[in-house]
Amino acid sequence: MIWIKGIILGASLFAIGVFVFLMAALRMRGPLLAGPGQAYSIDVRTLAFMTTQNLWFWIAGVACLAIGLAVAASWPGKFSPVFWILLALADVVPATALGIFLVLIQRLQAAGR
């Protein structure tokens, strides 16, 4: 049971971290919250380069899973059900962003045919 809790905790930490990283990167040099006349689009390959094609992305994923497992194994008592509910609510935002991104990719592929 500790393994499952640790993996869920690590995956949540990783998902929230990736979401915050992408939002910060898009804010710094992208269309998110750009001023008037400064908005431009970002290619899908740019997002892939910042995530799955980047070695640090995978290192961070393994590190987050290790941290989640370490926290779950060293926790002195039981995790409160409120903790898991709050963790699930925190994961709604990155999951929604991933879902929107996947739908947009599917529509782009359909339009390209």
Token reading at 28:
């710094």
Residue numbers in the chain where pLDDT is lower than 70: 28-40
**Model's pTM, two decimal places?**
0.76
Can you tell me the distance from the alpha carbon of 62 to that of 7, in angstroms, rounded to the nearest whole number?
10
Number of domains present in the structure of the chain: 1
Can you tell me whether residue 92 is helix, strand or coil? helix
Per-residue pLDDT tens for 17-37?
Answer: 998 888 887 776 655 566 666
Q: Which domain holds residue 59?
A: 2-32+40-112
